[in-house]
A and B are shown apart, each in its own frame.
Chain A
Amino acid sequence: MAYVVSSVAVISIAWLAIVPLLLFPPLLLLVGIPIGALERPRLGFLEPLTVPDPHAPAPPSGWAWVRLRVTEAATWRELGYGACLLSVLALLDLAAVIVVFLCLVLLGLPLLVGLGANVRFAVGTWTVETVGQACAVAGLAGVPATVVTLYGISVLGGAQAAFAKWLLAPTGTEVNRQVEELARSRSRLVNSFEAERRRIERDLHDGAQQHLVLLTMKLGLAERQLADADGRAGELVGEAHEQARLALATLRDQIRGIHPQILTDFGLGEAVRELAERCPIPVEVDLDLPGRLPPEIESPAYFAISEALTNAVRHAAATRIQISGRLNGQRLALTIVDDGRGGAEPSRGTGMRGLADRVAVVAGTLEISSPRGGPTTVRIDLPCRYE
């Protein structure tokens, strides 16, 4: 009901808006676009889900926008819908609204007669004159007519909405294109994060770390100069030297977490071996890789292994970990098994889920099997074009 009534409002506004456009007919070709934009949200009256925009992203204005829109099938479907809306649907909806009005008059007849309004209701030669007659008409004709009308209107509304959805919603290809565009933009985003991490790592190396190294050097020289001097100065410089050393060590650890230089310089095999060397529990590494893998594969693989090791040590109380990796044709298969207590839930904790997302970006998969009591097995599978 609301849908059909609001249709009438939309149609009248659209007609009013179109009249000036008649002065410049070519613009009428694109008139479907605003109508579509107006109509899709209105389908919300009847559709549980919002109907997405079928158009591809375009420059906000100008010729490029027009050129792109003219080539899109969605634009022409919208134009067709606009034409139907403003002609056939306009008449149907107007008729429906008039019928609703008549029903209301019939139902309100006793009230109108009672108030002495100047109404005359006649069927043939018989005229309604008393409130009683008016009640009889309202009851016998008004109520059934209203029921039938409401039913008819909901059918009309449903049919009109289905028709609108058919023409205004994205088709299969358009949805696929949107999904592809989303996948591409996600991968661009991840790549730019990756580039940003490298930049931050290099900035820290070249900036803060360099200054700290020079500071420790100066303090080291000062400590030597003051070694034989009396008083607290030498001791204080010594303490300052130790502080600067600690600051350097902390910074170095943090830089490694952002992006390890060894991964860039020596690749996944050596970087994982180094992770194993630093891990507080024994790690057996069995990686059989023929050489360097593409950086967009090395990076998620490295961070996934790093996270798996951290989880095994921190949460699973494991006492040993095995890492194995093989390149099978065009796929890199990595397995990390620990002997800990298991029960890991990937849905909780953001670490592994974030990694699963990163792996998914390069069309890989990450599976975790962690029954209560262990063992926990993390399997990572990455498509990998090895050069």
Chain B
Amino acid sequence: MSLRIVLAEDAALMRAGLVSLLEGLGHTLVAAVGDGDSMLAAAREHRPDLVVTDVRMPPGFTDEGLRAAVKLRAADPSAAVLVLSQYAATAYAAELLGPSGRAGVGYLLKDRIGEVADFADAVSRVAAGETVIDPDVVRQLLNRPRTTNPLDRLTTREREVLGQMAEGHNNPSIARTLGISDAAVAKHIGKIFTKLDLPEADGHRRVLAVLTYLRS
């Protein structure tokens, strides 16, 4: 499906690369801008299917892109945003998932655009309203050493399912990836929620709940 996309990336070379990649994937770039404020303006003007933004942009070159993305999601719950970061840290993902919106949201390591298939998949999932969290971030959280590790109570399969949930996959997607039935996925998820004492939720809130749990 061809998407109308607003891209915010300040580095000219990277912007050109992303434009050619996204166009190569069959999408239409309605605007390609270089800072957070222009991104907000372009999103208001074009009402795109998806906004793809860099984290570090002018004027301060810190986390302007992330702040603009959070602002956009708070102002317009229907705006889907995919944030590309040079740096994988759960704090960024947590910040981004903070304001609850109906639309899709994604946090990917910039390196991920090298995995063309994964990147293409993430773009369409976020545009379709799903949540996408970079596998590196999830891996870091799952492998984090703990003194008392409640994750030890999970079976290997349940840990896999938990990782997939944290990355933002929905049940059919998890079933496809792990090669099991939807019903089996639902059963594993039920067990995980009971074992970890997690509140039942779905969509972003499920991802947020899992991430929050893994971070605590």
The residue of chain A having its C-beta at the shortest distance from the C-beta of B24 within the complex is: A221
Residues A202 and B114 in contact, CB atoms below 8 Å apart: no
The residue of chain A having its C-beta at the shortest distance from the C-beta of B61 within the complex is: A202
Interface residues on A, range: 35 or more
In the complex, which of the residues B21, B89, B141 contacts A262, with contact meaning CB atoms closer than 8 Å?
B89
Interface residues of B in 81-122 (CB under 8 A from A): 86-92, 95, 110-111, 113-117
In the complex, which of the residues A216, A221, A266 contacts B91, with contact meaning CB atoms closer than 8 Å?
A266
In the complex, which of the residues A202, A217, A219, A256 contacts B21, with contact meaning CB atoms closer than 8 Å?
A217
Which residues in A have their C-beta under 8 angstroms from that of B89?
261-262, 266, 270, 274
Secondary structure dominating the interface of B: helix
Residues A261 and B86 in contact, CB atoms below 8 Å apart: yes
How far apart are A362's CB and chain B's nearest CB, in angstroms?
Answer: 22
Residues A273 and B14 in contact, CB atoms below 8 Å apart: no
In the complex, which of the residues A206, A220, A277 contacts B144, with contact meaning CB atoms closer than 8 Å?
A277
Stretch in A54-62, A86-94, A139-147, A243-251 touching the partner:
A243-251
CA distance A219 to B114 in the complex (A): 7
Which residues in B have their C-beta under 8 angstroms from that of A165?
none
CA distance A217 to B111 in the complex (A): 8
Interface flags, A252-294, vs B, CB<8A=1, else 0: 1000100011101110001001101111111110000000000
Stretch in A4-12, A63-71, A207-215 touching the partner:
A207-215
In the complex, which of the residues B87, B145, B147 contacts A280, with contact meaning CB atoms closer than 8 Å?
B145
How many residue pairs at the A-B interface have CB separations less than 8 Å? 97
Residues B113 and A262 in contact, CB atoms below 8 Å apart: no
Residues B111 and A248 in contact, CB atoms below 8 Å apart: yes
Judged by a CB distance under 8 angstroms, whether A241 is at the interface is yes
Which residues in B have their C-beta under 8 angstroms from that of A252?
86-88, 111
Residues B110 and A213 in contact, CB atoms below 8 Å apart: yes
Which residues in B have their C-beta under 8 angstroms from that of A273?
91, 215
Judged by a CB distance under 8 angstroms, whether A224 is at the interface is yes
Residues B145 and A282 in contact, CB atoms below 8 Å apart: yes
Known contacts A206-B11, A209-B86, A248-B111; A270 and B145 CB within 8 A of each other? no
Judged by a CB distance under 8 angstroms, whether A320 is at the interface is yes
Residues B113 and A224 in contact, CB atoms below 8 Å apart: no
Judged by a CB distance under 8 angstroms, whether A372 is at the interface is no
Residues A214 and B13 in contact, CB atoms below 8 Å apart: yes
Judged by a CB distance under 8 angstroms, whether B63 is at the interface is yes
In the complex, which of the residues B56, B62, B140 contacts A278, with contact meaning CB atoms closer than 8 Å?
B140
Question: Residue among A202, A205, A241, A244 with the most chain B CB within 10 A?
Answer: A205
CA distance A376 to B89 in the complex (A): 29
Residues B114 and A216 in contact, CB atoms below 8 Å apart: yes
Judged by a CB distance under 8 angstroms, whether B17 is at the interface is yes
Residues A220 and B146 in contact, CB atoms below 8 Å apart: no
Residues B116 and A217 in contact, CB atoms below 8 Å apart: yes
CA distance A278 to B145 in the complex (A): 9
The residue of chain B having its C-beta at the shortest distance from the C-beta of A267 within the complex is: B91
CA distance A214 to B55 in the complex (A): 17
Which residues in A have their C-beta under 8 angstroms from that of B62?
261, 264-265
CA distance A280 to B146 in the complex (A): 10
Interface flags, B1-24, vs A, CB<8A=1, else 0: 000000000010110010001001
CA distance A281 to B114 in the complex (A): 31
In the complex, which of the residues A210, A220, A224, A260 contacts B13, with contact meaning CB atoms closer than 8 Å?
A210
CA distance A220 to B114 in the complex (A): 5
CA distance A262 to B87 in the complex (A): 8
CA distance A280 to B144 in the complex (A): 7
Which residues in A have their C-beta under 8 angstroms from that of B115?
216, 220
Residues A261 and B116 in contact, CB atoms below 8 Å apart: no
Residues B146 and A282 in contact, CB atoms below 8 Å apart: yes
CA distance A217 to B141 in the complex (A): 26
Residues A262 and B56 in contact, CB atoms below 8 Å apart: no
CA distance A209 to B87 in the complex (A): 11
CA distance A241 to B116 in the complex (A): 11
Question: Residue among A241, A262, A279 with the most chain B CB within 10 A?
Answer: A262
Which residues in B have their C-beta under 8 angstroms from that of A249?
111
How far apart are A174's CB and chain B's nearest CB, in angstroms?
Answer: 43
Residues A241 and B56 in contact, CB atoms below 8 Å apart: no
How far apart are A353's CB and chain B's nearest CB, in angstroms?
Answer: 29
List of 7 A-B pairs having minimum Cβ-Cβ separation, nearest first:
A216-B114, A220-B116, A265-B63, A270-B91, A282-B145, A282-B147, A214-B17
- A selection of 11 A-B contacts at a CB cut-off of 8 Å is A205-B56, A210-B11, A210-B14, A213-B17, A217-B21, A220-B113, A220-B115, A245-B111, A248-B114, A249-B111, A261-B89
Known contacts A220-B117, A266-B95; 6 additional CB pairs below 8 A are A210-B14, A211-B13, A215-B114, A261-B56, A273-B215, A282-B145
Residues of chain A whose beta carbon lies under 8 Å from any beta carbon of chain B = 202, 205-206, 209-211, 213-217, 219-221, 223-224, 241, 244-245, 248-249, 252, 256, 260-262, 264-266, 270, 273-274, 276-284, 320
